[in-house]
Amino acid sequence: MTKLTLGSHPYMLGFEQLERMLERSAKSGNEGYPPFNIEQTSQNSYRITLAVAGFSEEDLAITVEDRQLVIRGRQGDDAEGRIYLHRGIAARQFQRSFVLADGVEVGEAIMENGLLHVDLTRAQPEPVVQKIRINKG
C-alpha cells in the first residue's frame, strides 16, 4: 500500500511546498526551552510570547527565513571572575522556529519583564474569481 501524502492526492494540486513545511516544522528540534505561548489577539493577529529571563535585547535575534520565523538567543559568558557556590540558572543558547502561513507577516517585537512578545498579522486576501476562456481546438 502506498503512503498517501498531500502532494500525491489527486484533488490537492500544488501542495508539495505545504507538505515540506510540515515536515520541516516537525523536524525543527524545538525542545522545551524556552517555554512559549501563542495567543490569538484578534481575528487576524497573533502574539508569540517567549520566557527569556536573563536575556537582553542584544542577546536575541529574530529573523524570517523562507516563511519560517526563527528566534535565537545566545548569552555571553559573564562567569569570568565569578565564583559560584551554586549555579542553577542556565545560560544556554536556544533556537525556536515557527512556520508562517502565506499572508502572515511579522510585526513588532517587544521585550517586557523577561518576556519577548512577537506580534503577527494575517492580511485578508481579496476574493479572486477568474474566468477561463475555452478555445476551439
**13-26 pLDDT per residue, tens:** 676 766 776 676 66
Domains and CATH numbers, the chain: 1-30 (no CATH), 31-122 (2.60.40.790)
- Taking only the tens place, the pLDDT of each residue in 82-99 is 888 988 876 789 999 998
Put simply, whether the predicted model's pTM sits higher than 0.75 gets the answer no
Instruction: Pick left, alpha or beta for residue 133 (phi over 0 → left; psi -120 to 50 → alpha; otherwise beta).
Output: beta
